[in-house]
Amino acid sequence: MSNVAKRNGSFWPKMMQDFFGTENPFDWDEKFWLPEKSVEIPSTNVIENEKEFKLEMSAPGFDKKDFKVDVHDGVLSISAERKNESEEKKENYRKKEFSYSSIRRSFALPENVKEDGIDAKYENGILHLLLPKKAIEPAKAKKEISVG
């Protein structure tokens, strides 16, 4: 009965491989353990009506000063960064904590968006953007030129 459960001598490396994806979790690249930056892509609702587009981006925990919104070459780019640090010192210990988070999202704008009229407002964890529409001139009819 002693051979009911046969043991392979590589039990520990196999368990490490299954759990960590490597036999030695300490030889991973430092960026795996300490990523420089973590960027999230926030959920966004896009609503269109006859006079404008409305974007509602979920971004809880940020302040309006954290946001950067710009338009360049027909692309609307939205980003925000937040850094928090706290430190507590007492007689027998010192506690220092910090966190960093950022969000980033870009949208290719349709040609009927009036780029210089875009308005942004942040309230209750939602970034609201209004993108007014402009009239688009219809394409001119094809003109045939005779060769003489």
Give the C-alpha distances (Å, rounded to integers) separating 145 from 134, 140, 148: 32, 15, 9
CA dist 82 and 67 (Å) reads 9
Q: Counting Cβ atoms within 10 Å, is residue 144 exposed (0-12), middle (13-18) or buried (19+)?
A: exposed
The fold of 38-132 is: Immunoglobulin-like (2.60.40)
d(CA 6, CA 9): 10
| Interacting residues of 104 by C-beta distance below 8 A, sequence separation 6+ | 39, 40, 41, 77, 78, 79
As a dihedral over the C-alpha atoms of residue 39, residue 42, residue 99, residue 61, rounded to 10 degrees, the angle is 160
Domain boundaries, the chain: 38-132
Question: Closest Cα to residue 121, out of 90, 78, 74?
Answer: 78
Contact by Cβ (8 Å): 81, 16:
no
User: Which residues of the chain are under the pLDDT cut of 70?
Assistant: 1-39
Structure-token match 């692309």, residue found: 75
pLDDT per residue as tens digits for the range 111-147: 999 999 999 999 999 999 999 999 888 878 888 889 9
Q: Where are the alpha helices (DSSP H) in the chain?
A: 11-20, 30-33
